[in-house]
Structure 1
């Protein structure tokens, strides 16, 4: 059975979680599966659902899937959603030197000055990891 038919037959699949709280949307986006990400969002998956590792947008910022980041941003993903430690999607993009995604997030209005519980903004994380050019663009 095709994914779309499975979802139509059982909408509860959109709310399913594994032991880490990861939803199908988080897993699809993290895995770089843009068509599946679109299918899940269009079927009603919570775009801002968070597992222990964060939201779908946070995951793509870590992995570097700029096409999926663009889609999630345009679909209304919360740019300021954060983990308990205060990390946002922009923090993740900066930590992993995802310059294209940083640009997408900033252009969409992400708060470059948002600090995590350690008082570090995205530019600080980039600088800490030696990504000086990115840190300067954020700073």
Structure 2
């Protein structure tokens, strides 16, 4: 076996490993012409406003990315109920600082009004709870 063929074969075998280094999916951005038509208010309204501390927002973001990752594609044969259950807005989020410094508990529970009357397997009403170490940007445990 000549050296060039051996090197080529080695590189070919390493190619599937490159798929592990794909960039993280980012949220979809509206086209520039649509974005230009959107006008922000001079001041944000206070009605309905919810302020999240930085650690709480970070914990929710980390847990949500594990719970329903951006870029996840549903199976082709997914039922309407399954499609609804894969949307982030179908869940209410509760976040509570833990007694340990930097740990936040994040719970995802199905919204009562979401996915109602859709065909397909029913969703579990049991919340999923994450223990998130915000300082180290990692999930400590998941209770399902």
Give the TM-score normalised by structure 1.
Answer: 0.20
Of Structure 1 and Structure 2, which has the larger fraction of its residues in helix? 1
Bigger-Rg structure (1/2): 2
Higher fraction of strand: 2
Structure with larger RCO (C-alpha < 8 A, sep 6+): 2
